[in-house]
Structure 1
Amino acid sequence: MKTIYFFTSFCLLLVANVTLAQNASIKGVILDEFNQPIEGVNISSNGNGTQSNENGFYKLDVAANETFNITFSHISHKNVSANFLLEPGEQFEFNPVMKVDIEQISTVTINGKKRKDVEGIVTIAPALLRKIPGANAGVENILMTLPGVNSNNELSTQYSVRGGNFDENLVYVNGIEVYRPFLIRSGQQEGFSFVNSDLVSNVEFSAGGFQAKYGDKLSSVLDITYKKPVAFEATVDLSLLGANTSVATASKNGKFTSITGLRYRDNSLFVEAKQTETNYRPVFVDGQTYLTYQFNSKFELSFLGNASLNKYDYEPESRQTNFGTLDNPLALIVDYEGQEKDRYQTLFGALQGSYNVNDDLNLKLIASTYHTSEEEYFDILARYALGEVNSNIGDEDLGEVEFSVGLGSQLNHGRNDLDALISTIEQKGTYTIDENEFKWSVKFTNEDIRDRLVEYEIIDSVGFSINPPSSGGFNDQPYSPDNAPIVAFQNVRARNNTIINRLQSYLQWSKRSFIGEHEVWYNAGVRVHNWSVNDELSNSVTQTVFSPRAQFAIKPDWKKDMLFRIGTGLYYQPPFYRELRAQNGVVNPNVKAQKSFHIVIGNDYSFNLWDRPFKLTSEAYYKGITDVNPYSVENVRIRYNATNDTEAYAYGLDLRLNGEFVPGTESWFSLGYLKTEENRNNRGFIARPTDQRFKFAALFQDYVPSLPNFKMYLNLVYNSGLPGGSPSYADAYEYQNRLPSYKRADVGLLFVVVDENKQFDSGWRKPFKNLNFGFEIFNIFNNQNSITNTWVRDVYSKRQFAIPNFLSPRVFNVKVTMSF
């Protein structure tokens, strides 16, 4: 046995020595044009790769006795590529100088740990997406901690920005616009965000005043870049909420790369913790892949694919919600019959070819298709009792309902089907000449939507049907007879076949220059958007809008590190299908594009505190909005009036302080003030549904000094109350009730077993690149946040009571994260 052991060890040692003898290494320091080290440069060669550290230093093992190519790439610099032939065991020093890539000047420039954000775009480290706790952990979870970004529903990945609604945000993945399902009504139906955090290499977000290269929306841009891996890597994420896995590969010559992610989620942990007893069987499954092939130094082809299936089976059983005051405690008790069965299936594919004609000219051609098939079927009967609660302390019936002041029932019925096919082809280009950069695009989109909407609601109170709001008031039954026909309280029936063709283009110019000793950036551009709406009656309406935009930034040559910027423009939002569909479900092809004048003034002040880097970002903004298409919001469902009879405005101030409050970790605190109002049909200005006046948020990272592998992550949000506490059918000018403020804190505790700084050469931990065990507490203070109110009528006094629909309480989760 000893002989076998010795022989095996000798063979392994011999193989290792031969392997090492056939290898060489290349190392050095990467500098920019000003002889400053560049951190985070990707160095790749024949499937192997590494990154430069904060001092610009890198080292990479390569094959000896054969010619190899090595490429240095960075988001804000031009690539450097060179060929080498090294002897076995040789250590070669190569110190490349990377020039600023003019194509990247208008994006976030990273130099060491200081960010020079000339465009007003916030860059988020991808590692944070996977570490910061949240009911929907990921990109949107982090966005909620930024000033100006608001959401009062932790189960939803949708968000509003500076007074805009959920439909006013652009989302791009690798330069390709992505979409969401249409019929989602509540956060617990949503499932996943499109963006898979495991695949992300770069996150950029703009809250307004963005350039012409981004599309026609009124509020914000989320620009995501997926990874191009340089070596094999696999990750697995397991928790009580589901499982994620991803696999990254690269060919030996580095020409072919792939990264694929699979996700499964189950919201039962949150839904079953709420006050409504349910049988809840969700299935949220998602698969994505990003493939690239480099044919040569000039041409690259890539494919982005996504398949998603959301199945939502929901059977409510009972509910009791206590509300009121200490002097007059009340309770709503509901028994349910029926169920809801929803299904959302989406498929997305995009093929992109990129051709570098020369160092100054790049051309791209993109073709994409998005298909969604959605079903929303429900029949739910709710029998309710509104009663007075026993509040006598010590009584055996304490908390029980003793006297009912209102009885009734409510039947909700829905049979909604939607099928949408969106096809796009786009040509994009970039040309650089004498420090001037020009970008352009021509894009054609065809949207084919087939929609059937059947919904009604019947409300019964002690044996008689309550009339709809349009009838002129509530019934006086049973005290006096009502001779009107019995009709549903709410009734929507429509069938639409709609085709929308869009032709879009933009042209923009950027330049970096100097005024004296002060560095300046210029950007100006214009977008043109032409669209036609065709319905099943052969009606066709065509409209065209022009959107000029401009930005200017200056970095004064001062001792203090300051950057000033201003962005302005005329932004249009041509209507998407949902904006064309009125409250009665009928499509109005004459809806015009909403128009908004933006002006954003910002300042970045970078400084050192406690010998660590910090940055204070301040932005003041104003939006004047005309041709507004008014809407109502219930949970996350938006229903438009399909009119342009409203004007609105929004203004506010956003502040964000980020830096190393704890050495080696980035944290930030955000503060925002917003006021947005609208004037419908010259009836006067009232608060818009997104009038989130005050916002405070914090994202904080820490670790135990004596146990640096034990880390803590805090995600804290406070939002003042939104308008939305009124009945869905109410006239907004008669009801301006607000929901209570939204308060939530999520805490994650993470124990790091293996990471890049703690590797093992033997034992069970050897195969892992990363291995973490986590424990999360969602809503740690158990705040009762409400998203809407259920309105119940007292038939005796004719009063209506607002019973809050609470979101998730305190919930615990455990997870394991590993990579190989």
Structure 2
Amino acid sequence: MLFTALAFLLLPFTGLAQKFTISGYVRDAKSGENLIGVAIFNSVTGQGTATNAYGFYSLTLPKDSVKLVASYVGYERGLFTTYLDKDLQHNLLLAPAVTTLQEVEIVNTQVEEDIRETTRMSTINMSVAQIKAVPALFGEVDVLKVLQLLPGVQSGGEGTSGLYVRGGGPDQNLILLDGVPVYNASHLFGFFSVFNADALNNVELVKGGFPARYGGRLSSVLDISMKEGNMNEVDGEGSIGLIASRLTVSAPIKKDEASFIVSGRRTYIDVLARPFMPKDEVAGYYFYDLNGKLNWKVSEKDRLYLSAYTGYDEFYATSEGSRTDNQKSRAGLGWGNLTSAFRWNRVLNQRLFLNTHLTYTKYQFDISNEEEATYQGKDYNYKLKYLSNIRDLSAKLDFDFIPNPSHYIRFGTQFVDHQFQPGALQVRGNNGGTAEDLDVNTVKTNAQEMGLYLEDDVRLSERVKLNVGLRANGFAVNKEFYSSLEPRASVRFIANEKLSLKASYANMTQFIHLLTNSGIGLPTDLWVPSTDKVKPQRSHQVAMGATRTLAQDKLEVSLEGYYKTMHNLIEYKEGASFIGISNSWDTKVTTGKGWAYGLELFLHKKTGRTNGWIGYTLAWSNRQFPDLNRGEKYPYRYDRRHDIELVVIHQLKPNLSLSGTWVYGTGNSITLPEARYVVGEAWEGGYGGTQTYNDYGSRNGYRMAAYHRADISLSHTKKKSWGEVVNNISFYNAYNRKNPYYIYIAGGENEGDAPRFKQVSLFPVLPSVSKTFKF
């Protein structure tokens, strides 16, 4: 049906007369890497376009003189003049801007195709240079923490890197690394993300008005692209910090034809702590990331990419007894991702671009415990392992068709084979010569997901531009089949040179779920499919907004309002968790619905020695489950009424910059007991044991104290003959605010000892230093 509609859509373009197409790639003149989202326009007619996710552009114009202008933040403008009387292929090379100030502009929006021009709502592109300029915990640059500084995006709590977008949960974010889903984007229980900024090229966050090419999640799309590798020369960068170091190297395999990039990062908390531990008791933690990518320009029309990422976290503790008891034990908790992608780009003709994408992704966590002992000449050992994983194999075809400057058509199809193993328990033992084995829930579930999409970005007039799309999805699991038809639409109206208005609607379906016992992104959270008992999640979101430029276009202010409904959300039933092994996971959950609505204000300054933004969000997010909270509506854990973000980056000197952030948020909702009862059992001649019971109030009926924090960073750059060195000192939580991490109840067990609530805070002021180098 979608491709039939496409055929009718293309009919008006088959008879174009006296029009020709100029197309090609836009690349970094120094490294040869393709540039994403470069604004290109013909200054003679004012018509324009932008490069796609692979740096390709196409512009069909009348037979006449053409003066192309290419504009991209952080680069000098590119110019090309010709007389267009035939189809022409021309690649544009943009030189990096010399001025340091341009490298720290806050919002990566182009002059000619800014937020007033594009139809896409609730979408923000961020440059990697901008991300690196923001202060970071322990000096570790973090993509997700910078995104948390945007309106409509919340963090789960102190230090965490999870994203809660417009009232949604972390499982409702489609996180893509080179087009491959990443199912757990956190290290150290969410304190750091898995993305090494040195290996990244482009970061785009979509909060609403989703184009039809994206599917499978309800709340947001985070599309991250890795660098392709330097085609012309060897370069690299790295950093040495208090808890981790990283190194990235890029070089041509054959100049202007093939290149590679390799990037690695590892913490060394375990190594630093080892000398201070007893020899017979060792505990530690570390994580690592490793990115790699190969890029081969087969011809002017064909290009091949092979990229991969792997990362892992591990906690471990070992102990050894004395020679007499001969006891050994080891406990561990580990989790990690493995992703890989093969892409083939082909320019089928000057107006039609094809990307073929084959991907693999797997996320797994495991808990293990081993015990060994010898007693009276007999050996005793015990091994327990619990694991859970999700694995995807995917094939995807994407077409970009640009018949003329008034239409940009995208269509394609995707097939995904999911494999779920929500939980598997293995127990092995030798009890003095008697073997004891147990396997529970080792069955794997396979499911197939498929999708078709068609969208067109169409200019109806100089003032009105429209993006319309349709996505069809199917999901087969066991003997059940679910389908969905998702219309998408967004419109932009230019009221005048300073003001534009936008509106959007998106229908979304999500076929997979995340079962969680808490909100801090524990690796024990389980990914599970929709089944005959658990239906797919569905949402509808409408949004409206306005954007206006101020102060001679130096300031830009935008205001957006949204309303979103969500259905078939899942939660554990009261008292249930992943630990139990007697029943299947889908017997432990209940389904419900949710609402989220709010206003987002974004004011940012893009030029000058001082750059920055102010974001404010006024929001509500509620849930309702028939089996929870007596069936009454209650606030979502991360329902946060007010959220404020302030980011300032000031260039003191060409080689010295000062940056700072301040955030404020209403306290998270929390469920607390309203009474505590101590029940005792009297024995003859004395008082026996006691049991304490808590009487809880409404679900999430209380709030923790408000969260606020300031971070400061100072960076000094030194030029060297081989490159540059950046020395950085930063302060996390600069004024030592004791923010609530969680609250627990203490006391009340004994007569006269009244119960009381106690707050646990995580981070005091944390200074850190790091040294970054480039060559």
Instruction: Say whether the fold is shared (TM-score over 0.5).
Output: yes
Cross-structure match for 2:152 = 148
C-alpha distance 254-601 of structure 1, shift in aligned 2 (>3 A): same
Aligned-residue offset at 1:567: 0.9
CA distance in 2, matches of 1:270, 1:743: 31
SS at match of 2:445: strand
Alpha-carbon distance between aligned partners in 2 of 1:791 and 1:640, rounded to the nearest angstrom:
32
Selected match of 1:508 from 444, 454, 457: 454
Give the C-alpha shift of residue 374 in structure 1.
Answer: 2.1
For the structure 1 residues 250 and 96, does the alpha-carbon distance in structure 2 shift closer, same or farther, using more than 3 Å as the test? farther
Counterpart of 2:716? 751
Aligned counterparts, 1:232-631, within 5 A: 232-251=234-253, 253-266=255-268, 281-313=284-316, 341-377=332-368, 416-434=386-404, 435-452=406-423, 495=441, 497-515=443-461, 517-518=462-463, 520-534=464-478, 540-556=479-495, 558-559=496-497, 561-576=498-513, 578=515, 589=531, 590-608=533-551, 613-630=554-571
- Structure-2 change in CA distance of 1:451 and 1:597 (3 Å): closer
Deviation for aligned residue 1:587: 8.5
Report if the CA contact (8 A) 2:389-2:527 is conserved: no
- Number of the residue aligned with 2:661: 715
Does the CA contact (< 8 Å) of 1:715 and 1:746 recur in 2? yes
Give the structure 2 partner of residue 812 of structure 1: 767
Instruction: Say how many residue pairs are matched.
Output: 624
Q: Distance in 2 between matches of 1:452 and 1:370?
A: 18
Cα distance in 2 between the residues matched to 1:585 and 1:784: 34
Task: Look at both structures and tell me which one has the larger radius of gyration over its CA atoms.
Answer: 1
Q: Which amino acid aligns with 1:671?
A: Y
Distance 2:130 2:268 in 1: 22
Query: Do structure 1's residue 78 and structure 2's residue 57 form an aligned pair?
Result: yes
Taking the aligned partners of 2:742 and 2:151, their CA distance within structure 1 comes to 24
More deviation, 136-145/666-675: 136-145
Equivalent residues of 1:533, 1:542 under 8 A apart: yes
Contact 2:474/2:483, CA 8 A, preserved across alignment: yes
Q: Which residue identity is paired with 1:224?
A: I
Matches of 1:54 and 1:360 in 2, distance apart?
17
Equivalent residues of 2:515, 2:526 under 8 A apart: no
Instruction: Please say if residues 513 and 529 of structure 2, whose CA atoms lie closer than 8 Å, have aligned partners that are also in contact.
Output: no
Instruction: Give the C-alpha shift of residue 659 in structure 1.
Output: 0.5
2: CA distance, partners of 1:673 / 1:41: 40
Q: Is 1:653–2:638 an aligned residue pair? A: no
1:447 maps to a residue whose letter is H
What CA distance in whole angstroms lies between the structure 2 residues aligned with 1:615 and 1:567?
21
Deviations 1:243-301 (A, max 9, x none): 111112235541212222111125689999xxxxx986221111101221111111111
Residue 165 of structure 1, CA deviation: 0.9
Q: Given residue 552 of structure 1, which amino acid in structure 2 is its aligned partner? A: V
Q: Tell me if structure 2 keeps the 8 A contact 1:192–1:284.
A: no
Q: How many angstroms apart in 2 are the aligned matches of 1:579 and 1:551? A: 34
Alignment match, 2:175: 171
Superposed, which structure 2 residues align to 1:22-171 within 5 Å?
42-44=27-29, 78=57, 95-96=80-81, 110-111=110-111, 115-116=115-116, 117-120=118-121, 121-135=123-137, 137-171=141-175
Structure 1 residue ranges (4+ consecutive) displaced by more than 6 angstroms after TM superposition: 48-56, 72-77, 97-101, 267-272, 579-588, 636-642, 727-732
Q: Structure 1 length normalisation: TM-score?
A: 0.68
Q: For residue 120 of structure 2, give the secondary structure of its aligned residue in structure 1.
A: coil
Secondary structure at 1:217's aligned position in 2? Answer: coil
Confirm or deny: 8 A CA contact 2:565 2:596 kept in the other structure: yes
Give the counterpart letter for 2:303 in structure 1.
E
Unaligned runs of 5+ in 1: 1-39, 57-71, 81-92, 102-106, 273-277, 317-337, 380-412, 456-492, 535-539, 755-764
Tell me the TM-score normalized by structure 2.
Answer: 0.71
Q: Deviations over 1:546-603 (max 9, x none)?
A: 22111111223x24x2221111022222123648999999988221112211001111
- Please say if residues 790 and 803 of structure 1, whose CA atoms lie closer than 8 Å, have aligned partners that are also in contact: yes
> CA 1:734/1:624 → structure 2, altered by over 3 Å: closer, same or farther?
closer
Name the aligned partner's letter for residue 642 of structure 2: F
State the partner residue of 1:333.
none
Post-superposition CA distance 1:107-133 (Å, at most 9, x none): 996236955443121111210222211
The alpha-carbon distance between structure 1 residues 227 and 427, as it changes in their structure 2 partners (threshold 3 A), is: same
The structural deviation recorded for 1:527 is 2.0
| Cα distance in 1 between the residues matched to 2:715 and 2:574 | 37
Query: Residue 814 and residue 599 in structure 1: after superposition, are their counterparts in 2 closer, same or farther (change >3 A)?
Result: same
In the alignment, the residues of structure 2 paired with residue 357 and residue 729 of structure 1 have an alpha-carbon distance, to the nearest angstrom, of: 68
Paired residue for 2:702, among 733, 737, 740? 737
Question: 1:191 Cα deviation (Å)?
Answer: 7.0
| Aligned counterpart, 1:210 | 210
Q: Percent identity?
A: 18
Q: 1:650-799 to 2 correspondence within 5 Å?
A: 650-660=596-606, 663-681=608-626, 683-704=631-652, 707-726=653-672, 733=698, 736-754=701-719, 765-768=720-723, 770-792=724-746, 794-796=748-750
Corresponding residue of 2:44: none
Q: Which amino acid aligns with 2:287?
A: F
In the alignment, which residue of structure 1 is the partner of 2:22? none
